[in-house]
């Protein structure tokens, strides 16, 4: 079967920006050099644009794992356009298909079953899915989001202004437009491109599968470091509505920290988390499946299998009991804390009222004395 035609614009963008980053940027670094402001700006924009994709495009819009204030949405929309990965609507539509038909060689737009190169970048180089996005059927909810549609309808203009306008302006302020555009514009763009593409490619190849083996997604702490926390991809594919990818507090997931951090100042809210017992249950179910397969060769395999099954079921019951009791205690503590805070506030109020009352009484007495004096 002949290959679909090349998408010339995409090929040109990846080739030209890749060539500049591989050859021209190192040459510039060795000859003219970059100053510390240019380096810091590039690092800042790397995180800003990368996390607009992971925190915005991915966890907010594609999976709706939390809600965000319109200001946060606009910032994500600009950062995402600056990462040059198509509009929120288009990206989310592709991504929802990826989750729904993960690994399917025909339906998954970046199926890992079609090879590392294809899932990394190859899928964007040819017209593999020409007619898929005529109406964005799977993103009706996003079509009601004003920020999403504003970005979609003015995508090219936002891309140009954000990528060239912002970096050129910063360069002009710093005294060298070309140097800033090279490092914080082009080099940063290529870096963000490839680290975010790793999520579709390497995160489906390299790492462990503790939660499910029904797809190729992997958990990998090293990849998480390069992908703003999205390396815990096995977990993500089974519990996609969780705003976290690295669920343990020590797992490197700056996107999770940013979302949680913003919730303290009410810029993000309704953060969704998978209940702990469901996470543990998924893990145990996979262990059970593997253990039952391992004992198949043994003469008394049926007996061992049913024992394993019974133990697993008992474990599930206890998991639910344990975690629901834990939740009850936590809510109770929370309301107790609230009551004690309210009591403290009341105590404080009572003290003030008492003081005011004493003053008032004194005035009253003084007035009585005065009126007595004037009467006599
Ligand atoms: Zn996802
Ligand atoms: Zn995936």
* 307 CA from centroid of ligand 2 (Å): 35
- What pLDDT is stored for residue 135 in this prediction? 80
* 215 CA from centroid of ligand 2 (Å): 9
**Chunked mean pLDDT (size 10), the chain, 376 residues:** 87 96 96 96 97 98 98 98 95 95 92 94 86 78 97 96 92 95 96 96 96 96 96 97 96 98 98 94 92 87 89 90 89 90 90 90 84 74
- What pLDDT is stored for residue 370 in this prediction? 80
State how far the alpha carbon of 43 is from the alpha carbons of 3, 35, 223, 290, in Å.
38, 13, 18, 43
Q: Is pTM beyond 0.75 here? A: yes
The three-state (H, E, C) secondary structure of 18-86, written as one string: HHHHHHHHHHHHHHCCCCHHHHHHHHHHHHHHHHHHHHHHHHHHHCCCCEECHHHHHHHHHHHHHCCCC
- What pLDDT is stored for residue 178 in this prediction? 95
Three-state secondary-structure class, residue 110: coil
* 274 CA from centroid of ligand 1 (Å): 15
- Check: CB of residue 219 under 8 Å from CB of residue 231: yes
* 272 CA from centroid of ligand 2 (Å): 19
Exposed/middle/buried for residue 375 (C-beta within 10 Å: 0-12, 13-18, 19+): exposed
Length in residues, the chain: 376
* 202 CA from centroid of ligand 2 (Å): 10
- What pLDDT is stored for residue 3 in this prediction? 86
Q: 97 — phi, psi (to 5°)?
A: -65, -40
Considering every ligand atom shown, identify the ligand nearest to the alpha carbon of residue 218 and give its number. Answer: 2
- What pLDDT is stored for residue 369 in this prediction? 84
* 335 CA from centroid of ligand 1 (Å): 35
CA angle 229, 230, 235 (to 5 degrees): 110
Domains of the chain, by residue range, sit at: 8-274, 277-350
Considering every ligand atom shown, identify the ligand nearest to the alpha carbon of residue 234 and give its number. Answer: 2
* 166 CA from centroid of ligand 1 (Å): 29
* 189 CA from centroid of ligand 1 (Å): 21
Considering every ligand atom shown, identify the ligand nearest to the alpha carbon of residue 57 and give its number. Answer: 1
């Amino acid at each position: 079967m002949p290959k679909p035609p090349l998408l010339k614009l995409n090929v040109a963008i990846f080739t030209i920006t890749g060539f500049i980053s591989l050859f021209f940027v190192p040459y510039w670094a060795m000859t003219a050099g970059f100053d510390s402001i240019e380096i810091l700006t590039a690092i800042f924009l790397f995180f800003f644009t990368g996390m607009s994709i992971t925190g915005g495009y991915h966890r907010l819009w594609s999976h709706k794992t939390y809600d965000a204030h319109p200001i946060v949405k606009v910032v994500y929309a600009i950062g995402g356009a600056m990462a040059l990965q198509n509009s929120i609507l288009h990206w989310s539509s592709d991504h929802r298909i990826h989750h729904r038909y993960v690994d399917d060689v025909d339906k998954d737009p970046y199926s890992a079953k079609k090879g590392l190169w294809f899932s990394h970048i190859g899928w964007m180089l040819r017209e593999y899915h020409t007619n898929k996005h005529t109406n964005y059927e799977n993103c009706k909810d996003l079509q009601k989001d004003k920020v999403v549609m504003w970005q979609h309808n003015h995508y090219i203009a936002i891309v140009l202004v954000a990528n060239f306008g912002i970096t050129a302006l910063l360069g002009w302020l710093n005294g060298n437009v070309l140097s800033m555009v090279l490092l914080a514009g082009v080099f940063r763009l290529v870096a963000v491109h490839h680290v975010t593409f790793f999520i579709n490619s390497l995160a489906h190849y390299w790492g462990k599968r503790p939660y499910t083996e029904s797809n190729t997604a992997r958990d990998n702490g090293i990849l998480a470091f390069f992908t703003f926390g999205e390396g815990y991809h096995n977990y993500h594919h089974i519990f996609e509505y969780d705003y976290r990818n690295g669920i343990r507090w020590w797992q490197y997931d700056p996107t999770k920290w940013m979302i949680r951090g913003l919730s303290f100042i009410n810029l993000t809210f309704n953060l969704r988390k998978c209940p702990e017992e469901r996470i543990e249950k998924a893990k145990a179910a996979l262990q059970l499946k593997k253990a039952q397969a391992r004992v198949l060769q043994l003469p008394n395999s049926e007996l061992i299998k049913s024992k394993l099954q019974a133990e697993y079921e008992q474990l599930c019951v206890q998991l639910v009991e344990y975690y629901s009791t834990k939740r009850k205690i936590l809510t109770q503590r929370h309301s107790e804390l609230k009551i004690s805070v309210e009591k403290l506030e009341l105590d404080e109020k009572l003290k003030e009222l008492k003081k005011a009352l004493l003053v008032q009484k004194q005035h009253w007495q003084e007035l009585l004395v005065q009126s007595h004096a004037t009467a006599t």
